[in-house]
Chain A
Amino acid sequence: MSVHDLENLFQQKIDEEVKIEPKDWMPEAYRKTNIRQISQHAHSEIVGMLPEGNWISRAPSLKRKAILMAKVQDEAGHGLYLYCAAETLGMSREEMINDLHSGKAKYSSIFNYPTLTWADMGAIGWLVDGAAILNQVMLCRTSYGPYARAMVRICKEESFHQRQGFESLLVLSKGTDEQKAMCQDAINRWWWPSLMMFGPKDSESTNSDQSMKWKIKRKTNDELRQQFVDMCVEQVKLLGMTLPDPALKWNEARGHYDFGEIDWNEFWNVVKGNGPCNKQRLDARRKAHEEGRWVREAAAAHAEKRKASLNPSKGGTLAAA
């Protein structure tokens, strides 16, 4: 069969909503796009642990500490699901991690912002995880089977992340004047970066978007962003707080909220590595990786030793294991 025929067959499967599985034929560009997207998603989960890890030891109560630890542990698991999904496309885990550590691979820019107060933990849960969930719910129906399955698992676990964040802000919003101010300040700082998470405006993109055609993505950046804005405008009322955008206004004709212009210079600046914490995040990753080296080596040596002791023909002795 010619490559052209294979491509037609492939597109036909996509159009009929048949999932693509690892051993199926796929265009090289489909493979590459998925590897890039899934590994970036994985890196985002892993780097995403850092801004929150910062607050585990300083959580205001044992309950909040346990919740935060559970959330960060989930994120490590989500990173694993995604690395495994990306590996099915032929890139090794080592390569992906090396690309992250060398600065070659990307992760979501949102994690390059600092977490200055405890209220940031609530704002991240509500806004950042809220934005991520909209994207991830859509990705549950993505065309690549292993990615879709990882997303289903992640979405199941992730809804508690958003709820705990909102609840945490709710407590602050009913607290002292200082606590209320802290809550509003965190919302002010995280609102715009959260809107940036959805990426550039649709008008800045090419019409023939391959990702949509291949159903890797099923909604445009602006569609998801609008959905997020409409959702948050209502939710923030329950907190008795405000969103830092004077242009926010219900638009009867569109049936949606209008909102102000995003600072795209800031967006590209952070993407390009000049955000407040880009360097700090990568340094922390590299350090953790280096300091875990002896653990990985010891585990591998232990496994070798056990294997030898269970298999005397290879020179070991039969241990009473």
Chain B
Amino acid sequence: MMNFQIRKFYYGDIPDSNSGGDPIDAGSEIPPLGGGGAWPLWEVFIRSKQGLDHKHVGSLKAADAQMAIENARDVYTRRMEGVSIWVVESKYIHASNPDEAESLYDPANDKVYRHPTFYDLPDEVKHM
């Protein structure tokens, strides 16, 4: 059998080796991103309506908090999706490690008595 494959290309999955446009020498004319490269990443939380929690909706880059809120307004609330916006610089988010999930959540695993369905009550008991 021939050791030969035709790659399968989906929309949005064209190999980079098939260069598009007018290729220019790597690194010659393209100056690095000025300024924008230094903008930090922010996480955006939106309250969709009064009375509900703020919910994480995505992230964006901005020079400062005010700009992050304005950009979040433009990107995430164009269709009245929110009444309040929180932004926080992504570097301040601390996350649990998925590799430790087993031990981290293990203590909750065997405590079925924390759920109301654990308790068997006679049908005559109403409103409980």
Contacts and interface: CB of A to CB of B under 8 A. Distances in A.
A226 interface: no
Contact of A103 (B9, B24, B36, B59): B24
Contacts of B60: 80, 84
Contacts of A97: 33
B22 A303 contact: no
Nearest to B26: A102
B14 A106 contact: yes
A197 B10 CA distance: 8
B83 interface: no
Category for how many chain A residues contact B: 35 or more
Main secondary structure, interface of B, reads loop
Interface string A93-117: 1100111011111111100100000
A271 B20 contact: yes
B79 interface: yes
Contacts of A272: 18-20
Highest count of chain A CB atoms <10 Å: which of B15, B26, B63, B79: B63
Interface string B61-80: 10110010000001100110
A209 B38 CA distance: 39
Nearest to A225: B11
A232 interface: no
A103 B78 contact: no
Contacts, number: 170
Nearest to B23: A103
Given A84-B58, A282-B20, A297 B35 contact: yes
Q: Is the interface of A mostly helix, strand, loop or mixed?
A: helix
A130 B57 CA distance: 25
A306 interface: yes
Contact of B23 (A44, A102, A197, A307): A102
Contacts of A93: 33, 61
A103 B19 contact: yes
B21 interface: yes
Contact of B20 (A21, A74, A107): A107
A202 B27 CA distance: 36
A300 B21 contact: no
Interface string B25-69: 011001111111111010000000000000001111101100100
Given A36-B16, A153-B58, A273 B23 contact: yes
B98 A23 contact: yes
A166 B5 CA distance: 40
B111 interface: no
Given A273-B19, A299-B63, A44 B75 contact: no
B12 A108 contact: yes
Given A296-B33, A297-B34, 9 more contacts: A74-B78, A77-B78, A80-B60, A108-B12, A135-B11, A205-B7, A217-B13, A272-B19, A300-B39
Interface of A: 21, 23-25, 33, 36-37, 40-41, 44, 70, 73-74, 77, 80-81, 84, 87, 93-94, 97-99, 101-109, 112, 131-132, 135, 149-150, 153, 157, 197-200, 202, 204-206, 209, 211, 217, 221, 271-273, 278-279, 281-283, 286, 289-290, 292-293, 295-303, 306-307
Interface of B: 5-16, 18-24, 26-27, 30-39, 41, 57-61, 63-64, 67, 74-75, 78-79, 95, 97-99
20 contacts: A21-B98, A23-B98, A101-B30, A103-B24, A104-B16, A106-B15, A107-B20, A197-B11, A199-B9, A205-B7, A206-B6, A211-B13, A273-B18, A278-B20, A296-B35, A296-B37, A298-B35, A299-B64, A303-B63, A303-B64
